[in-house]
Amino acid sequence: MTLSGVLSAIVTPFTPDGEEVDEAALRALVDQNIDDGVDGFVPAGGTGEFSVLSHQERLRLVEIVVEQTSGRAGVLAHTGATSTREAVALSKHAQRIGATAIMLATPYYELIGFEEAFAYYAAVADATDLPICAYNFPPSTGLHLDVDFLVRLAEKIPQVKFVKDSSANIAQMNTLLSDYSDKITYFNGEDVLILPALMLRAPGMVMGIANFLTPALSKMHKASQAGDDAAAVAMWRKINPVIRILGTGSYNSGVKTACEILGLRVGPTRAPVSPYTPQRYEQLKTALKTLDPQLVTGAARVR
């Protein structure tokens, strides 16, 4: 199965106390996202709160998503970790259970450089056969995977096929899509760059908002691929107010709040991340109400 189109950086539903992964809610969310038109999932990513999950929870999370998709959508399992050892273990597990590909953020907290990052990706490639997606998110990892590094990675490690770029670096996006699309496939991972990425015909996106906005994102992507830029721009103008709200405060809290408002049971974020304040909740709820119901998850239309 190839990876392209709208990939949901799927949230991790928790029980109301935040102590356990709500497996039933996760399965229901996978089914609803597929009904909404999603092309793939990224479990245990940033929006999936991987940094507050145990090793066993991360394993189980990917297992559930692979089981529930049952071949209906791709699964790009995030297996990045603070140690190469754990990243290898998570990646081997993802391959064993049938993930489509793996995505790896570079180790964080203990800062590393390009040579260590290269060795990290090489070690995972040596341990697995799955295609690899490099995950560039310098605000969280402390290392910006620039164009030269990404091209070198793809040339030297053939399994590196993709990059999810959440750096919000529009110049880098332009260069990768315009000059190096034959070497590495670019997935936009930054909400505010959805429109310019699509204008440059980006083949895919990995979005937290796809948990509840897949219909709109799918329409935008299809319009872009068909060369109907006007339709993509019109859609962007409709969803931009919601994206602007989510861009302030905790993104994960915002995505989960939007899901709950629209009828998707996902539970709270796990501490130490705080839930939305009542004021933010009402602001987001008001913005979501302005959207055409056909642009949001079908769960909102059956309430």
Pick one of 3.30.230.30, 1.10.1200.10, 3.20.20.70, 2.30.30.30 as the CATH number of 5-298: 3.20.20.70
Where do the structural domains in the chain lie, given as residue ranges?
5-298
CA 255 to chain centre: 12
Give the tens place of pLDDT for each residue, 68-77: 999 999 999 9
Q: What pLDDT score does 2 carry?
A: 82
Choose among 171, 127, 157, 267: nearest CA to 211. 267
Q: Which residues are catalytic?
A: 135, 164
Q: What's the mean per-residue pLDDT of the chain?
A: 97
The low-confidence residues of the chain, meaning pLDDT below 70, are 302-303
